[in-house]
Structure formats: structure tokens, C-alpha cells
């Protein structure tokens, strides 16, 4: 033991400091100017938040009895610049210094929140938030990428939810700082690296909840542009459900928490397995029914008379062929008889029209001395020699007299 030292227990120390603060006239009724951060409106009616400036931060509590007086007068938000009235105190149990706030007056928007709004407006004008650039999240990724702190609760939440939903899902972690100096650059580099190795189909980028300054790395322009330029779809999971960051607006999808991001990216294995089994059952039944139907049709064909007694079928075809031959023979004979009759008819007509046929009927043909046929008396003069052709021979005569008939 230390000699001649006055040694206190932790409780005694905290009680002494708390009493000193309570008895201090200045600290018992003090006004403090700062920016609201990490605002929590508890279901009990109490309000908890931090008050900060550029260099420091102090915790604040406003109990329900005082909170009711300002609840409907002020819409308290993170980033709001305010002046609080209250008393400084130390909680003995946890040793935390804080201000018990009795009243709040709005003074203006804080510098950090103003920067947030300015960057949001700038990137929105450039189109980084446009829906047309949002890519769909794959239904069943082969691998889920995660960009977050390797020691944070967010990673454990993502792993727990992922393996609970899909036990064999692949996860590729790119560890990075998520707050403090240089965190934004690390996050942007991690996103770039994940795109370079191209191992995952979707990427979760985020961290657990915190104050506005804790989440500020995800409000930096370098992170926003890295998310926008990523070829891999990104789900932003920054903070709690009520927290919003620039990353949320740029990402392809926003998740209210890291756990929710895992649920959005990873389907339920049981659901997919059930669907696959249902498809398998449907396909097997369809194939089975088709096989049964075709077997039935095959049995019907094989049991038909043609296949069961092929000789009977051939006999029937032979009868048809013989019948066709008989009909063709009769048709050919009939056609030949008709052709013969026509031939003989034409022959008789030709014989009747033949000059010899005419001569046999008692007519004669007359030629002059030049051997030309003469058809009337004009072709002869008295004394000309004529050659008369008859059916049984020719007669030469000399013209002694010509008598012409008038018409």
C-alpha cells in the first residue's frame, strides 16, 4: 500500500466529484452552445444526444418532464445548432459527465450538417442519385463482398444473418477503417480493390450506428464517387434505421442496418431449395406422363392389325393391286376398241374421198396434152388431144366439137 496517501474507492471518487459539480453555482445553471449529434428519442419520453463543436463533445440528457415542453415546439434533428440550459453532473454509477438539460433553443444548422447538405446537393445535380444508374441486386449471388471494419459489430451481424439464411454462401471481406482520419480514402480504395479482383456479385458497404461525425466517412465525396463508379452492385448499410448518409443515396440499394443488408443480398436457402424441389417434382412428373403417353401410343400402334398380322395387310394390298390391274386392262381394251372403230371410220371416209373411189362410182378425170387436169370445157379447143382417166384405164381422144352449157 502507498504510505500517507488518501485512497478512495471508485464510488467515493465519483460521489465526491458529483457533489462538487452539484454545489458549483456556475455549473448548476449553465448554458452551452453546440451542434446536436446522435439524437435518440426514447420510448419513455426521455431525449438523449450529444452536444459538440469542432474540438469537443459532451453527453446530454433531457428527461421527459422537460422534453414534453420542447417536443412540440422544436423538431430536434442531428446537425441542429442549439443552446441548451441545464446543470452539469456526473453519474456515479458509470462515471460519465453530462448535462441534464432543462431547456433548448434553436440557433441554426451546424457546420457538419451544412457540409452534408451541400455535398448532397452537389452530387444530386451531377446525377449520382438518379434511378437510371441503379443496378438490380442479384437474386442468388455466388459470393457477397463486405467492406467494413473487421472488428465491428456490423461484420458479425452480416456473417450471422448470411450463414443463418444460406449456410454455404461465400463471403469476401475487404477490411477497412470506418471512422477517423483517412477512413474515407480506405473505404474508397477497398471498393476499387473489390472491383479489381472481381470475386463477388454484390457488395455490402457500411458500419454500425453512431453519431453524425462517427458516420462521416460515408458522407465523403471520395466514397460517393467510388460507389457510383463500381461495376459491382452495392448495398449501403450505414448506421441504424434512422441514419442516412451520402452513400445511401448513391448506392444501388440502401439497407437500414447491416443485418438488413445481409437479408437483402442473401436469399433463404430453404426457400430456394423448396422451389428447386418443386421444379424437380414438376419436371419428373411431366417427363413420366409424357413417357407413359408415348408408351400407350406405341402399344396402340403395335397392337394394330397392320403390325399384328402383316400378311393380312399384304393380301389386302395385293387384292387392291389385282383389282387395279383388271380395271386398267379393261380400260386399255375399251380404249383400243374405240380407237379401232375411229380408225376404220376415218379409213372409209378417206377411201370415199380418194380420186380412185370417185372414178369407181362412174366419174372420169380429164387431162390436156400437157398432162394437166382440166376441170371444164374452157380448157380445150377443137382439135386438142385429151386424156380421159377412168377407173380401169385411160383413153386418148381428139376434140371434134365443144358444147358449153349456160348457167
> 193-236: per-residue pLDDT in tens?
999 999 999 999 999 887 777 888 999 999 999 999 999 999 99
* Distance from C-alpha of 150 to C-alpha of 171, rounded to nearest angstrom: 13
Question: Among 270-279, 301-310, 389-398, whose mean pLDDT is lowest?
Answer: 301-310
d(CA 251, CA 86): 41
Asked whether residue 113 carries a pLDDT value surpassing 80, the answer given is: no
| C-alpha span between 258 and 241 (Å, rounded) | 10
DSSP state of 74: -
CA distance 388 to 273: 122
pLDDT tens sequence across 80-92? 888 899 999 999 9
The torsion defined by the Cα of 313, 314, 318 and 324, in degrees rounded to 10, comes to 60
Structure confidence at residue 226 (pLDDT): 97
The pLDDT value given to residue 178: 95
Least confident of 69-83, 175-189, 190-204, 278-292: 69-83
The residues, any chain, with a CB within 8 Å of residue 275's CB and separated by 6 or more, are none
By mean pLDDT, which of 115-124, 333-342, 357-366 is the weakest?
Answer: 357-366
Please tell me whether residue 188 adopts helix, strand or coil conformation: helix
Nearest Cα neighbor of 216 from 239, 250, 199, 249 is: 239
In this prediction, residue 234 carries a pLDDT of 97
**Crossing angle of helices 111-126/221-229, nearest 10°?**
30
370 vs 119 pLDDT, higher one = 119
Classified as helix, coil or strand, 356 is helix
User: What mean pLDDT is predicted for residues 11-39?
Assistant: 89
Q: Checking DSSP bridges between strand 234-238 and strand 202-207, what pairing results, if any?
A: parallel
Angle between helices 183-197 and 221-229 (to 10 degrees): 10
Alpha-carbon distance of 330 to 337, in angstroms, equals 11
The confidence score (pLDDT) of residue 99 equals 94
Which of the pair, 117 or 406, is modelled with greater confidence? 117
How much is the pTM? 0.53
Kindly tell me if the per-residue pLDDT of 367 is higher than 90.
no
CA distance 90 to 331: 130
Confidence band (pLDDT; 50, 70, 90) for 301?
A: confident
Rounded CA separation 134/251 (Å): 7
Task: Let me know the angle formed at the C-alpha of 63 by 60 and 66, rounded to the nearest 5 degrees.
Answer: 105
| Cα torsion through 306, 308, 313, 315, rounded to 10 | 180
Amino acid at each position: 500500500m502507498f504510505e500517507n496517501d488518501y485512497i478512495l474507492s471508485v464510488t467515493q471518487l465519483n460521489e465526491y466529484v458529483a457533489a462538487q459539480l452539484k454545489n458549483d453555482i456556475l455549473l448548476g445553471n449553465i448554458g452551452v452552445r453546440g451542434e446536436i449529434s446522435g439524437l435518440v428519442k426514447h420510448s419513455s419520453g426521455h431525449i438523449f444526444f450529444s452536444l459538440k463543436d469542432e474540438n469537443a463533445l459532451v453527453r446530454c440528457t433531457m428527461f421527459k418532464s422537460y422534453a414534453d415542453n420542447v417536443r412540440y415546439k422544436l423538431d430536434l434533428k442531428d446537425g441542429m445548432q442549439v443552446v441548451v440550459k441545464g446543470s452539469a453532473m456526473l453519474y456515479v454509477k458509470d462515471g460519465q459527465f453530462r448535462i441534464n438539460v432543462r431547456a433548448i433553443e434553436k440557433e441554426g444548422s451546424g457546420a457538419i450538417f451544412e457540409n452534408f447538405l451541400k455535398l448532397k446537393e452537389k452530387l444530386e445535380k451531377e446525377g449520382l442519385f438518379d434511378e437510371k444508374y441503379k443496378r438490380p441486386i442479384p437474386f442468388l449471388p455466388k459470393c457477397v463482398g463486405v467492406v467494413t471494419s473487421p472488428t465491428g459489430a456490423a461484420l458479425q451481424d452480416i456473417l450471422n444473418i448470411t450463414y443463418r439464411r444460406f449456410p454455404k454462401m461465400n463471403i469476401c471481406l475487404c477490411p477497412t477503417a470506418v471512422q477517423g482520419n483517412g477512413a474515407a480514402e480506405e473505404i474508397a480504395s477497398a471498393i476499387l480493390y473489390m472491383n479489381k479482383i472481381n470475386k463477388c456479385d454484390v457488395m455490402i458497404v457500411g458500419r454500425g450506428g453512431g453519431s453524425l461525425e462517427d458516420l462521416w466517412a460515408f458522407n465523403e465525396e471520395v466514397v460517393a464517387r467510388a460507389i457510383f463508379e463500381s461495376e459491382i452492385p452495392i448495398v449501403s448499410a450505414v448506421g441504424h434505421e434512422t441514419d442516412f448518409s451520402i452513400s445511401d443515396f448513391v448506392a444501388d440499394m440502401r439497407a437500414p442496418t447491416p443485418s438488413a443488408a445481409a437479408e437483402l443480398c442473401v436469399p433463404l436457402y430453404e426457400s430456394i431449395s423448396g422451389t428447386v424441389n418443386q421444379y424437380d417434382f414438376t419436371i419428373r412428373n411431366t417427363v413420366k406422363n409424357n413417357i407413359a403417353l408415348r408408351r400407350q401410343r406405341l402399344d396402340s400402334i403395335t397392337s394394330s392389325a397392320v403390325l399384328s398380322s402383316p400378311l393380312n395387310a399384304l393380301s389386302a394390298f395385293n387384292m387392291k393391286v389385282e383389282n387395279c390391274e383388271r380395271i386398267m386392262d379393261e380400260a386399255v381394251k375399251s380404249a383400243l376398241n374405240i380407237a379401232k372403230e375411229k380408225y376404220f371410220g376415218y379409213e372409209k371416209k378417206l377411201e370415199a374421198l380418194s380420186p380412185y373411189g370417185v372414178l369407181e362410182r362412174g366419174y372420169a378425170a380429164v387431162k390436156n396434152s400437157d398432162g394437166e387436169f382440166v376441170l371444164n370445157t374452157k380448157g380445150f379447143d377443137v382439135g386438142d388431144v385429151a386424156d380421159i382417166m377412168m377407173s380401169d384405164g385411160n383413153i386418148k381422144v381428139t376434140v371434134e366439137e365443144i358444147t358449153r352449157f349456160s348457167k
